[in-house]
Amino acid sequence: MKKPVDHPKNPEELRKMAENRLAAKPDISTMQSDEKRLVHELQVHQIELEMINENLCHTQAELEKSRACYYDLYELAPVGYLTVNDRSSILNANLTATKLLGIPRNALLNMPLTQFILAADQDQYHFRRNQFGIG
């Protein structure tokens, strides 16, 4: 990943940075004042875009860390996890759940969780869901 650039945090510093970039241009003396203003504004917008891009890259890196953590916690857990929606349909299953149930993940998706609950335990399952406001 690219080394982060120390960009200004406020508009005044941003404009000063743009002015410095503009002054460093060798052909600035031949420009008209309107051209100079436009080039200056373009420099400001370029710096703003660079700052936004830098923030986006940082956010993307943080998201990748979160995804890796989720994978470790959910997918590699020694306990079988099933994620269900409010209608008890399976939305996701971790690796342990697929091994315990002996069913591939693709086949588990959208199956009703109640299919895996003993008939004698169905009432208790629905009671608990209602108790937590899920049912």
73 contact partners, CB below 8 Å, separation of at least 6: none
Task: Mark whether 90 and 116 lie in a shared domain.
Answer: yes
On the question of pLDDT at 2 being above 70, the answer is no
Task: Mark whether 39 and 65 lie in a shared domain.
Answer: yes
Whether the full predicted model's pTM is greater than 0.95, yes or no, is no
Which residue among 55, 75, 95 closes a domain? 75
Which residue among 29, 56, 75 closes a domain? 75
Task: Mark whether 70 and 22 lie in a shared domain.
Answer: yes
Looking at residue 9, what is its pLDDT? 66
Q: What is the pLDDT of residues 21-75, one digit of tens each?
A: 666 665 656 667 888 788 888 888 888 898 899 999 999 999 999 999 999 999 9
Domain region containing 26: 11-75
Confidence of residue 122 (pLDDT cuts 50, 70, 90): very high
| 1: in domain | no
Residue reference for tokens 């939305």: 91
Looking at residue 77, what is its pLDDT? 96
